Amino acid sequence: MEFSKKQIKTISGIVFGAILFYFLLKEFRLVLSGVSYLWSVFGVFVIGGAMAFIINVPMTFIEKHYLSRFRHIGKAKRPLAFVMTLIMVITVIYLVMFIVVPELIDTLQLLVVQMQQIYDRLPQIVADISAKLNLTEETVKSLQIEWSNISETVIKAVQEIAGGIVSSSTNLIGSVVNAITQFILAFIFCIYILFSKEKLGRACKRMLYAAFKEQIADDIISVLHLTGRTFSRFLSGQCLEAVILGIMFIIAMTVFRMPYALLVGVLIMVTALIPIVGAFIGCIVGAFLILMVNPVQALWFVVMFLVIQQVEGNVIYPKVVGSSVGLPPILVFAAVIVGGELMGVAGMLVFIPLTSVCFTIGRAIIEIQISKKKIPVEKLK
């Protein structure tokens, strides 16, 4: 039996893929070390490219929709758009660092003081409970001894943690310096990409057409354009949804005179950037903060959150974010779960638009195959 060239290529590809898959499984640690080495070399460029892609979304919007009206600006249009985008980013960081973080620290300090007061009152609390339950004196003493052991254990644990922090301070400083250096280099690379993106785009197209057949290069460029549009729409939609949700909480909490309205609103605005589960993280932290002031209002805050979450999930999110990625809700949920398991918060943000791209391409391929096979419409219903 003779094989055609196409069959030989297919069989060779299957065999090569099987051998490669077996090697990856057998030498998994070696593969991980190789990936780690590649990240140490090229990680700065990957981070810089990611920063450029994120900053490019609002920068392009400002450049096209606002600064394009001023024709006399000329070549200064892009630098101005870049500076305005940086101001927006710095403003968000300022809100988080100087509003959310200090309030959280003050609340934690209040919690520590309250815990200390509760600890000081433990003997009286135990005595009251024992009087109500008619406990014997021996039982009360045993309870007091247990509380003493607990306090000693806590003190030892705190001392060990403090000792560990002091002993690892040198490594911490080195890691911080290394992270700052990588961030600066990545930011410089990001600026270079943003100010030369047209030239880089033309150079990449030339390389694609030189390396592949014209049809294959066209398909690759089409997929890259689809990926870029999908990620841009998702990022802009997710940010807009987070801002709307945060403003809704600030207004609602102000109307019902709940404490920490601005703090909780900004906190939910930031955590809502994480798809689906982010707002619940903000709710837990917000309920905890309000609980320190008024437990009844904390309960009403949870009820208010559930109501606003229903409005957001059924009206705002499908309109703002769902339409931007074109995914059914079940696939959005699956993308969040899988992305979170693989890459944490970054995976949640990446996997929704990535799944949307795969879904769009897969749907197009299915439609083409159905059209080629001339399957009747009645069978597809």
pLDDT digit string (tens) for 370-380? 877 777 767 76
| Amino acid in position 105 | I
Count the domains in the chain. 1
In the predicted model, is pLDDT for residue 329 greater than 70? no
* Low-confidence winner among 75-89, 151-165, 272-286 (lowest mean pLDDT): 151-165
Torsion sign over Cα 36, 37, 40, 41: negative
Q: What is the C-alpha radius of gyration for the chain, rounded to an integer number of angstroms?
A: 29
| Amino acid in position 150 | I
pLDDT at 203: 92
In the predicted model, is pLDDT for residue 303 greater than 80? yes
241 vs 134: which has the higher pLDDT = 241
The closest alpha carbon to 261, from 286, 244, 240, belongs to 286
pLDDT at 207: 92
pLDDT at 206: 92
Burial classification of residue 53, based on how many CB atoms lie within 10 Å of its CB (0-12 exposed, 13-18 middle, 19 or more buried): middle
| Spatial separation of the C-alpha atoms in residues 194 and 60, rounded to whole Å | 10
pLDDT at 150: 58
Strands (E), 138-238: none
Q: What is the pLDDT of residues 213-240, one digit of tens each?
A: 888 888 888 888 888 887 787 777 778 8
In the predicted model, is pLDDT for residue 294 greater than 80? yes
Report phi then psi at 2, rounded to 5: -100, 140
The reply to whether 26 falls in a domain is: no
The reply to whether 176 falls in a domain is: no
Q: What is the pLDDT of residues 112-156, one digit of tens each?
A: 776 777 667 767 766 666 666 655 555 555 554 455 565 566 666
pLDDT at 55: 87
pLDDT at 162: 56
In the predicted model, is pLDDT for residue 300 greater than 80? yes
165 vs 251: which has the higher pLDDT = 251
Residue 349 CB coordination number (10 Å): 23
Percent of the chain beyond pLDDT 70? 75
With beta carbons less than 8 A apart as the criterion, state whether 85 and 235 touch.
no
pLDDT band at 7 (very low <50, low <70, confident <90, very high): low
CA distances from 344 to 233, 272, 274 (A): 21, 15, 10
The reply to whether 269 falls in a domain is: yes
In the predicted model, is pLDDT for residue 18 greater than 60? yes
| Spatial separation of the C-alpha atoms in residues 357 and 361, rounded to whole Å | 6
pTM (predicted TM-score):
0.65
Range of the domain at 264: 213-369
The reply to whether 153 falls in a domain is: no
The reply to whether 15 falls in a domain is: no
pLDDT at 364: 77
The reply to whether 218 falls in a domain is: yes
pLDDT band at 179 (very low <50, low <70, confident <90, very high): confident
The reply to whether 119 falls in a domain is: no
| Spatial separation of the C-alpha atoms in residues 24 and 312, rounded to whole Å | 44
Query: Rounded mean pLDDT of 271-284?
Result: 79
> Chain-wide mean pLDDT for the chain?
77
pLDDT band at 54 (very low <50, low <70, confident <90, very high): confident
In the predicted model, is pLDDT for residue 333 greater than 70? yes
205 vs 15: which has the higher pLDDT = 205
8 vs 89: which has the higher pLDDT = 89
Token readout for 243 is 């801002």
140 vs 345: which has the higher pLDDT = 345
The reply to whether 169 falls in a domain is: no
120 vs 171: which has the higher pLDDT = 120
